[in-house]
Amino acid sequence: MQHGAQGQRSALQTLYELWTLLCIVEPPQITEKPEVIRVTVGDPVSLDCKVTGSPELKVRWTKDGRELQSIRQHKLSFENNVSSLKIQSAQREDEGHYVFETHGANSNFFLIVVLVTEQVIPPSFIKPLVDMQEVLGSFVQICCKISGSLPISVEWQKDKSKISSGVKHKLIQQDNAVSIEIEQLELSDAGSYSCKLTNAAGKNAPTMIGHVIPAHKVSISLTWSPSFSSEPPSFVTLPKSQVALPNTTVRFKGSFQGTPPFMVKWFKDDTELMTGPTCFTGLEGSSCFLELYSVGVTHSGIYSCQVSNDAGSVRCTADLTVKG
């Protein structure tokens, strides 16, 4: 009887493990695929397919029925569930029917290479954007897939104001993808973002919007995360702009409120300042300060202080003029 009971428990355990395995295994599925792409000869091309599923997925790319291998002309990669096919310099022979496959799921699409001698292909967007709802203090990336003859000039705007690359915003352009990255979202980052493209085909460049097809812009709205029970920082007193004589010490100081702990950074013209022989940055309770030693004309510029905590960040600026 005892052996019979043990055998029954063993069989039940095996059935349970099989049932658990079936519940965990997720069939492969293509969740994002590229569209038709038109490029001029010599332009780089990047095709990306995003897949989900388990266990470890096996993927492959074919062109006109023949499997592609990672060589100098075609680079294949598979990272973070994104399979990429990069063509370093598209040629006439690259025109054809490309297929991406993964465990029975397959995605068919065409890459059309157009040879243009007197006229270039105007820029266009091949991947629509959608409006985004993000959490204060988080990181966000807005990415556009584009097509057209290179070089393509890219301009990002927020509420119709041009965005420049700096500490707050990072602008990226690689192959046929452009993106903007925003660090530590704060309330002032909410709004409407747009991407404008221009090339030699003319100035009638399209603009990407997220909620219309074809889309022209993307709106970011910010919310509180349930884990963010703290109050974001805000300045109570701001550092004052100053005029100083050469070889003197300059001190900027401001105070703020919010929920600690805080992280304070000082910048000069978007370059972060670190404590050293020429300056000292400090934090005293809810006050932040910056001391500059033996200032000269080169120290003139715009200084900014950024205070951050788990709930968000805030920044203020002050000018320094050192007399010559």
With contact defined as beta carbons under 8 Å apart, do 223 and 232 qualify? no
When mean pLDDT is compared across 28-37, 91-100, 124-133, 236-245, the lowest value belongs to: 28-37
**136: Cβ contacts below 8 Å, ≥ 6 apart:** 185, 186, 187, 222, 223, 224, 225, 228, 232, 311, 312
The C-alpha angle with vertex 65 and arms to 62 and 66, in degrees rounded to 5, equals 60
Q: What is the mean pLDDT of residues 290-308?
A: 93
Does the structure show a pLDDT above 70 at 235? yes
pLDDT band of residue 16 (cuts 50, 70, 90) is low
Give the pLDDT score at 245. 94
Structural tokens at position 152: 């393509």
* Highest-scoring range by mean pLDDT, 60-69, 146-155, 290-299: 290-299
Is the pLDDT at 22 greater than 80? The verdict is no
DSSP 139-176: -EEEEEEEESSSP-EEEEEETTEE---SSSEEEEEETT
The CATH superfamily of 234-322 is: Immunoglobulins (2.60.40.10)
Fold designation for 124-223: Immunoglobulin-like (2.60.40)
Please, which residues bridge with residue 197 across strands? 154
Q: What average pLDDT does range 191-212 have in this prediction?
A: 62
Structure-derived torsion over alpha carbons of residues 128, 134, 139, 143, reported in degrees to the nearest 10: 0
Q: Which CATH architecture has domain 29-114?
A: Sandwich (2.60)
pLDDT at res. 236: 92
What's the confidence (pLDDT) of residue 241? 95
β-bridge mates for residue 59, sequence order? 102
Domains in the chain: boundaries: 29-114, 124-223, 234-322
Check pLDDT > 70 for residue 160: yes
How does residue 114 score in pLDDT terms, banded at 50, 70 and 90? low
pLDDT of residue 211: 26
pLDDT band at 62 (very low <50, low <70, confident <90, very high): confident
DSSP H or E stretch at residue 224: none
Helix (H) or strand (E) holding 113: strand 105-114
Mean pLDDT, to the nearest integer, of 153-172? 85
Confidence of residue 226 (pLDDT cuts 50, 70, 90): very low
**Which comes out higher in pLDDT, residue 204 or 65?**
65
CA–CA distance, 267 with 165 (Å, rounded to integer): 15
Distance CA 314, CA 306 (A): 6
pLDDT in tens, 63-76: 887 888 887 777 88
pLDDT at 227: 41
Residue 153, pLDDT score: 84
